[in-house]
A and B are shown apart, each in its own frame.
Chain A
Amino acid sequence: MTDLRRLPLHDLHIEMGARMVPFAGWEMPVQFAGVMPEHLAVREKAGLFDVSHMGQVILRPRRDMAQLAADLAALMPVEVAALPEGRQRYGLLTNEDGGIIDDLMFANRGDHFLLVVNAGRADVDIAHLRAHLGDQVQPVNRALLALQGPLAEDALAPLVPAVRAMRFMDVITADTLFGPLWISRSGYTGEDGFEISVPTPGAEGLARALLRNSQPIGLGARDSLRLEAGLCLYGHDIDETTSPVEAGLTWAIQKSRRTGGFPGEGRILAELAGRSERRRVGLRPEGRAPMREGTKLFAGDRPVGIVTSGGFGPSVGAPVAMGYVEADAAAIGTQLLGEVRGKLLPVTVSALPFHQTTYKR
Chain B
Amino acid sequence: MKYTEDHEWLRIEGDLVVVGITEHAATQLGDVVFVELPEVETMVATGDEVVVIESVKAASDILAPIDGEIVAVNTKLADAPGLVNEDPLGRAWFFKLKVDDLSVLDEFMDEDEYADLIG
A residues sitting closer than 8 Å to B (CB atoms) are: 30-31, 34-36, 39, 220, 224, 288-290, 292, 311-312, 314, 319, 341
Is B78 within 8 A of A35, CB to CB?
no
Tell me the B1-58 residues at the A interface (CB within 8 Å).
30-31, 33-34, 36, 52, 54-58
Instruction: Identify which of B30, B34, B36, B78 contacts A36 (C-beta below 8 A).
Output: B30
Is A314 within 8 A of B36, CB to CB?
no
Q: Give the residues in chain B near A34, CB-CB below 8 Å.
A: 30-31
Residue of B30, B54, B55, B56 with highest tally of chain A CB at under 10 A: B56
Is A289 within 8 A of B30, CB to CB?
no
Is A36 within 8 A of B31, CB to CB?
yes
Q: Does B65 contact A (CB under 8 A)?
A: no
Given contacts A34-B31, A220-B30, contact A311 B56 (CB under 8 A): yes
A346 to nearest B CB, angstroms?
Answer: 15
- Nearest CB in chain A to that of B58: its residue: A292
Q: Give the residues in chain B near A292, CB-CB below 8 Å.
A: 58-59
Is A289 within 8 A of B36, CB to CB?
yes
Q: Give the residues in chain B near A312, CB-CB below 8 Å.
A: 33-34, 54, 56
CA of A314 to CA of B81 in the docked complex: distance in angstroms?
13
Tally A-B pairs: CB < 8 A. Answer: 42
Chain B, interface size: which category? Answer: 10 to 19
- Nearest CB in chain A to that of B82: its residue: A36
B residues sitting closer than 8 Å to A (CB atoms) are: 30-31, 33-34, 36, 52, 54-59, 78, 81
CA of A290 to CA of B31 in the docked complex: distance in angstroms?
13
Instruction: Identify which of B36, B78, B81 contacts A341 (C-beta below 8 A).
Output: B36
Instruction: Identify which of B30, B54, B78 contacts A290 (C-beta below 8 A).
Output: B54
Q: Give the residues in chain B near A311, CB-CB below 8 Å.
A: 56
CA of A39 to CA of B56 in the docked complex: distance in angstroms?
10
Q: Give the residues in chain A near B36, CB-CB below 8 Å.
A: 289, 341
Is B56 within 8 A of A35, CB to CB?
yes
Given contacts A35-B57, A220-B57, contact A290 B34 (CB under 8 A): yes
Interface CB pairs A-B, < 8 A, 18: A31-B30, A31-B57, A34-B30, A34-B31, A35-B30, A36-B31, A39-B56, A220-B57, A288-B33, A288-B34, A290-B33, A290-B34, A290-B54, A290-B59, A312-B33, A312-B34, A312-B56, A314-B56
